[in-house]
Each structure stands twice: as structure tokens, then as C-alpha cells.
Amino acid sequence: MTIERIDLEILRLPYVHFFETSFGRSYDRTFILVRVHAGGISGLGEVVAEEAPLYSSETTETAWHVLRDFLVPLVFKEGISDPAAFARAAKTYRGHPMAKAGLELALWDLKAKAEGLPLTALWGGTKAEIAAGVSCGIEDTFDDLVARVGGYLSEGYRRIKIKIKPGWDVEACAAVRRAYPEIALQVDANGAYVPADIPHLKKLDAFNLVMVEQPFPPYDLWDHAGLQEEMKTPLCLDESIVSETSARQALEMGSCRIVNIKVGRVGGPLEAKRIHDFCQARGVPVWCGGMLESGIGRAANLHLASLPNFELPNDLSASNRYWKEDLIDPEIVLEKGGVIKVPTGPGIGVRPVEERIRKAAVRRESFEVPSRR
Ligand code: OSB
Ligand code: MG
């Protein structure tokens, strides 16, 4: 199989409800869609880099630059179509995991479609449905937060995560716990705290949380270990885990007891699977994080979350949690029991709706094998 053409598109989609984290509030999502074409089949991958370098140092524009000027030319120059060969070759370039992951995902989708198999089959998935959770942003008031949590619970979500930051943490947990004493509840700080906050963070132990996610900044494995020693609630790392190596170091240091896996953050599905397998061997549970993907990126996440060690509910919600109109048809829905079905069709197993993609597109460029003369 030879890749004949690669299309890059920047899309922008408005959220159904604003999403606020310790980084700030946003009203829409800008991301890149990668398409690889070969022999009449096309593979799709979503690049989860956001418009601004807040969660990660990558942005939509850095990912566009690295794809256009380095990764796409690499595919053509080396004649690559196999995702594992791409992942190996892409290591030549440092950093830019989200740009790499988007193209690797597109090659996986192409390969799986060519073989007539869903991604879950190629990746070693074992589950037909996954446990869905929902991530709730910071609201204007604690009452608004409790109302929103109540709405998601009545839709059937089994686990609630709330975003926290200094000034919106202990009281937010107290408000949700007062209303819902029994639910599976966890918090995510996106690195908003510093070690001087340890005495304050310890107050979170009072709320019977499933986990506290990423209290300190990404590079701070050592201080996470110090905090984990003082807290009874398990810590989970998101931003800090960028590879199998960093997962091993975090676990050896005692920096966390749970690992969040995101394909974009770790540079692609192959590295994500390595982290999954490593954690499984160590008896450490993982779960699949989300980056407010469209249905295209989310479908790939569903396949990943079908692997056996994704034991905790995931940040994988139905299309209507994010979008008025998702980019796929049928949309992703929540089933009874708070689960989502893993698509069964070839590749990502969902059909993109071209008209909606066109409506969301803000830039587009196509690349073909440069002719040798
Ligand atoms: O930290 O998990 C995070 C969204 C954007 C950036 C970072 C995070 C998130 C979420 C959303 O929590 C989870 C989802 O996609 O449902
Ligand atoms: Mg997180």
C-alpha cells in the first residue's frame, strides 16, 4: 500500500456548554483532521492539540507546521504506510506528540479498513463496551455545578469528574458530596497547585474521591511522590505521563497509583498500548482521558479503552455532551448502565459526515508524493 495523498484540515466546532479548567474558559474547539489516502481507502486521525499552549506546549499551529514540514514529507520520502513504521521513523523528531499521534491514528484507521477489521481487533481490545464518565468544568457558582452534575447523573453517567483550581476545590467537592453522597467522584487540577498547597490538598481526603488527578505541573514527579505519601486518596497523573518511561519512573517513585492514558499526549496508539501493558504488568489500573475530541477522535479512544487494563471509567462521553452536531453519523450515545459501545465497523468504525466537516473547516491543504524527475 502506498500513501497517495494526505489532507490536513483545521476545524472549529462550538461546544454545547462552555468548558472551564484551571487554564480558563473556552467556548469552542479548534483541532486538525488528518486524512491519508491509498488505493481508494482513506484513514482518519484527529490531532488533539488546542488553539493555545495551556494543557500542553503544542498548539494547532505548531502541529500544522510539524505535520506539513516534517511528518507528511517523512511519510512520502520513506514510502511509509504502516503505522508502526511511521512511529519508529517519527522518533527522529523530538517532541510534538499530538502531531505525531494524529498521523499515526490515520495510518491505523487506513490499515484496519484495508484489513476489514475494527481498531480494537488490531490493538488487542477485549471489551465490546466501555464505562463512560463525564468531565465537568468549573461553573459560575457551586449551585450551577451541582445542577450540571445532577443532569449528567440522570442521563446515566456512572462517574463524575470535576475540574478544580485554588478557590474552587474543597467547597466544590463539599457541594457535590452534599447533594450526591454515594457517587463515584474524582477531581482534576490540571497542575494548578504547588507543593506549598500540600496541607490544603490533604483536605480532599475527606470526600472519598476515586482519585485526585494532576495536582502539580507536568515535570513535577518528585513532588507528586511527596504528596502521595501524605494523602490516602490515590493520585492519578495525566500531563506528567508522556511515555512508557515516564510511567515507569512515576510508578517507581510513588508519584501516582493510577495512570490516565491519552493517545495525543503520549505520541500515538503504540506508545499508549506500551503504557497500558506496562501498567497492567505492575497491577496499576489505567483509564482513557479525553481532549474534548470530535466523534472521529473519540471513536479511536473507544477502541483504545476496550483494552483489558482500562479498568476505571473513562473520560468518554456521548456526542451530545460536547456538540450540538457531532462530525459522525450515527453519533456516540450512552447506553443503559452508563456504558458506550465500541464501534464494530472497520477502522474507527464511524462514518464522518462530510457536509458537517465542510461547515466546520477553517483551513485545508493537500499533499501528494512529490514527483521525482
Ligand atoms: O485534563 O483531562 C483533562 C479536556 C481538555 C484538556 C484536558 C482535559 C480535558 C478533559 C475533557 O477533562 C475530558 C473529555 O474529553 O471528556
Ligand atoms: Mg486531566
Q: Look-up: residue for cell 506546549?
A: 57
Find out whether the beta carbon of 292 lies less than 6 Å from any atom of ligand 1.
yes
Query: Cα of 50 to ligand 2 centre, how many Å?
Result: 14
Between CA 70 and CA 90 the distance in angstroms is: 9
Assigned C-alpha cell, 288: 482513557
**% of the chain exceeding 90 in pLDDT:** 98
**If you average pLDDT over every residue of the chain, what do you get?**
97
Ligand nearest to the CA of 319: 1
The answer to whether residue 306 scores a pLDDT higher than 90 is yes
The answer to whether residue 224 scores a pLDDT higher than 90 is yes
Q: State residue 59's pLDDT score.
A: 98
Q: Residue 71 corresponds to which amino acid? A: L
Concatenating the DSSP letter of every residue in 160-220 gives EEEE-BTTBSHHHHHHHHHH-TTSEEEEE-TT---GGGHHHHGGGGGG--S-EE--S-TT-
Q: Give strand ranges (E) for the chain.
A: 5-21, 24-38, 41-47, 129-131, 133-136, 159-163, 184-188, 212-213, 235-237, 258-261, 286-288, 328-329, 339-341, 351-352, 361-368
The answer to whether residue 338 scores a pLDDT higher than 60 is yes
Q: State residue 371's pLDDT score.
A: 73
Q: Residue 61 corresponds to which amino acid? A: E
**pLDDT, mean of residues 86-96:** 98
List where CATH 3.20.20.120 sits in the chain. Answer: 121-351
Three-state DSSP class for residue 282: helix
Q: State residue 369's pLDDT score.
A: 87
- From the list 87, 22, 95, the residue with the least C-alpha distance to 62 is 95
The answer to whether residue 373 scores a pLDDT higher than 80 is no
**pLDDT, mean of residues 270-284:** 98
**pLDDT, mean of residues 20-44:** 96
Q: What is the dihedral of CA 204, 207, 209, 213, to 10 degrees?
A: -20
Q: Kindly provide the b/e burial profile for residues 61-79, where b requires at least 16 CB atoms within 10 angstroms of the residue's own CB.
A: ebbbebbeeebbebbbeee
Between CA 166 and CA 160 the distance in angstroms is: 20
The answer to whether residue 372 scores a pLDDT higher than 70 is no
Which CATH fold topology does 5-116+353-368 show?
Enolase-like; domain 1 (3.30.390)
Q: State residue 20's pLDDT score.
A: 95
Q: What is the DSSP letter of 239?
A: T
Find out whether the beta carbon of 294 lies less than 6 Å from any atom of ligand 1.
no
List where CATH 3.30.390.10 sits in the chain. Answer: 5-116+353-368
Would you say 276 and 309 are in contact if contact means Cβ atoms under 8 Å apart?
Answer: yes
The answer to whether residue 149 scores a pLDDT higher than 70 is yes
User: Which of 47, 262, 315, 340 to mutate to test ligand 1, by most ligand atoms within 8 A of the CB atom?
Assistant: 315
How far CA 221 is from CA of 249, 252, 257, 370, in Å, comes to 8, 10, 12, 44
Find out whether the beta carbon of 289 lies less than 6 Å from any atom of ligand 1.
yes
CATH architecture of structural domain 121-351 = Alpha-Beta Barrel (3.20)
Please identify which of the residues 111, 161, 165, 262 carries the catalytic annotation.
262
Q: Using pLDDT thresholds of 50, 70 and 90, give the confidence band for residue 35.
A: very high
**pLDDT, mean of residues 334-354:** 98
pLDDT tens sequence across 161-218: 999 999 999 999 999 999 999 999 999 999 999 999 999 999 999 999 999 999 999 9
Between CA 152 and CA 140 the distance in angstroms is: 18
How far CA 157 is from CA of 17, 99, 169, 249, 335, in Å, comes to 17, 31, 22, 33, 9
Query: Cα of 316 to ligand 1 centre, how many Å?
Result: 10
